[in-house]
Amino acid sequence: MDQQALTLIDQETLDLFELFDWWQPARLAEQTTLSPDRAKYLTRLRKEFNKLATGKGNFLTETQVDIATTFYKGLRAQEYKELRKLLPGKIGGQRFRYVDLFAGIGGIGKPFADIGGQCVLTCEWDEYARKTYRANWALGPHHRFVSDIKSISQPLDKRGNKLKATCQANYIRKHMPDHDVLLAGFPCQPFSIAGVSKKNALNRAHGFDCEDQGQLFFDICRILSVKQPPIAVLENVKNLKSHNKGTTFQVIQEMLTHLPEHQKTLFGSKINKGAQAYWIANLDEDKPDPKVIDGQHFLPQHRERIVLVCIRQDIVEQLNLATAIDLRKLQTPEKPLTLKDVLDPNKSVNEKYTLTPKLWKYLEDYAKKHKAKGNGFGYGMVRHSSKDVARTLSARYYKDGSEILINQDNIKKRPRRLTPEECARLMGFVRKGETFHIPVSDTRAYKQFGNSVVVPVFAAVANLLEPHIDNIRKNY
């Protein structure tokens, strides 16, 4: 093999080449001086490289080295410089270890990396969300991705049958990395108001009866039963509390606070005699409920989510944490960001985000029709004002943008949608002047931001736990 070629293939070259796994060619062409055709060519080159992967770590075949050398030698100086700017930023430390389950694009995990956490496993089903996650967060060689949590929590044998209880527990013990904090924004669609309405309309099951998504909470419980991390932070929609007349939340509460008693339900038999249950912060408080946190305390978006901060019961008792960890003490900014801090000037926004005459007329007529019936349905309009708070950005935003339209009267145009970059700011991933990489199409990006969390909310949760993490790790 050409020794000179091997010398050229350093880690940075491989990192630059890896960008073509995540970035769509059209997005790369927008962000760099690469032409669309050249971006497509380099993407095809990367696919050829990937087809030759041996699965033996960083070992490269001779043909892979040739392809990578072709990539490196063909890069112009300007292209090299621009691609370097697209490399994901390194985050996290080695203070504690966490797993990021149902991670989306990393909105819950990033704040825990910011307080020194090291992510050892990320689980995310959607391949495009994984692309955005990888385009932004460099987590190092200790980290791995899985797409389906059931591949760990409910593994199958060679015949496709579920493993028996002890074997299942041993599999989880072996394949789920040890961790101090489990983060899980488990799928909310089966419990959300919109999700339940849609499933009812289609005569489909929702809540725990939705086998694909609704039962993933129990996979979290299986992992907690076996790995017993000292801390778990779970997130879902506000409607989780009232879903199925409160029964759903009662089941969640019962499972977590009496986890050892439910091993037979989870595994078919008892698998961990020393298992501990989990204490839930502010569990019995209801009106107002500190567990339900509205994003508008941090950003100009009304977005209520329930956050369950769970600590292993034996640790709570040993360290007297029941009063120390209190969501009522969550720190919120004195002056939350405003829409002026989020929105770009209308005159600088691409024309493609302005609603077409046909769509705008449809939304106006739709709103008038429902107003006449006494309903509150219609579009939500905001201005570049310090007083306006946007409605909740949803995963359906790509369809018509109706929940958050930006008024453009100042430049005599019809309203427009948010740009994906503005969505990143509205969700708190970045502020103006900072970059959040969006390697996917606008449609995919809108879905990802609509399914995400308000990042500063979880920064506040992480900061609430931060003073106790070192002590907790010493005592479990």
Q: Active-site residues: which are they?
A: 188
Contact 175, 167 (CB under 8 A): no
Degrees to nearest 5, angle at CA 380 with 378 and 381: 130
Note every long-range contact of 137-143, with CB atoms under 8 Å and residues 24 or more positions apart, other chains counting.
Answer: 137/88, 137/89, 137/91, 137/106, 137/109, 137/110, 137/113, 138/87, 138/88, 138/89, 138/90, 138/91, 139/91, 139/92, 140/90, 140/92, 142/118, 143/119
- Please tell me the distance from the alpha carbon of residue 277 to that of residue 224, in angstroms, as a whole number: 9
User: Phi and psi dihedrals of 284, rounded to 5?
Assistant: -90, 0
3-state class (DSSP) for residue 312: strand
Distance of CA 167 to the CA centre of its chain: 31
Contact 146, 123 (CB under 8 A): yes
- Please tell me the distance from the alpha carbon of residue 180 to that of residue 422, in angstroms, as a whole number: 34
Q: What is the DSSP letter of 316?
A: H
Count of CB atoms within 10 A of residue 434's CB?
A: 9
Residue among 267, 274, 176, 292 nearest 227 (CA): 176
3-state class (DSSP) for residue 193: helix
Residue among 278, 283, 290 nearest 316 (CA): 278
- Please tell me the distance from the alpha carbon of residue 397 to that of residue 418, in angstroms, as a whole number: 9
Q: Is the peptide bond before 288 cis (omega within 30 degrees of 0)?
A: yes
